[in-house]
Copies of this chain bind each other. A is one copy, B any other.
Amino acid sequence: MDIGEVSKTSGLPASTLRYYEEKGLIRSSGRNGLRRLFDADVIEQLALISLGRNAGFSLDEIGEMFTADGLEINRQLLLKKADELDKKIKELTSMRNGLRHAAACSAPSHLECPKFRRLLHIAGKNHSRHPSKLKKK
Contact = CB atoms under 8 A, between A and B. Distances in A.
A136 interface: no
A115 interface: no
Interface residues of A, number: 58
A29 interface: no
A32 to B, nearest CB: 25
A95 interface: yes
A123 B54 contact: yes
A70 B75 CA distance: 45
Interface string A86-117: 10110111011011101110001111100001
A128 interface: yes
7 contacts: A12-B127, A50-B126, A51-B123, A55-B91, A73-B103, A75-B102, A85-B92
